[in-house]
Amino acid sequence: MTDFFYALYMLTTRIIMWLPFHSIRKAYLKIVLGALGKETFIARNVDIRRPRNIYVGNNVVINKHAVLDGRGGKLVIGDNVDIAQEVNIWTLQHDYNDNFHKTKGEGVIINDYVWIATRATILPGVTLKRGAVVATMSVVTKDVPEMTVVAGIPAKTIAMRHSELKYKLKYKPLFE
């Protein structure tokens, strides 16, 4: 893709993701994402990078100002995942050991029933297993086991989740 067409695509995506009508955003995202599940809500002003590498499951909630990065590999989001506002999920980063500041990427997998709280950051190559919880403002640098609650920089285990995970997320505000 040439620079001009990429810039045009990015501008189009930012305009559509700004619109206060979820039905328009969802129709557009069904076209550009790798996959978009049923009953999924993606709020306004979500920053989507390389959407063809982003796969979103059913009953997912992605709140405003989140960053979904598919540039460095696949970003796979399972079912009933709750991603709070201002969460950053990266598949691409700079290699701090490279003399020329090159980038390196790895996919990210977020399994079913994961909850990522406000302003958390998930780095490339991480897998969040079923039912994991990432606390507010945490930075996840390593895989998180099933039903584990992590917090901090870097994120460390602070608790275990004790839930049968029977819920389905069905968040649908009218003008969000």
Count, residues in the chain: 176
Has 94 been annotated as catalytic? yes
What are the residues facing 92 on neighbouring strands? 105
Active-site residue, from 22, 65, 94, 101: 94
Report CA-CA distances (Å) from 164 to 64, 161, 167.
28, 9, 9
Q: Which tokens in the block code for residue 100?
A: 């020329």
Angle formed at CA 162 by CA 160 and CA 168, multiple of 5 degrees: 115
Q: Which tokens in the block code for residue 21?
A: 């009508």
Cα separation, 6 vs 84, in Å, equals: 28
Per the listing, tokens 């076209």 go with: 31
Please list the active-site residues: 94
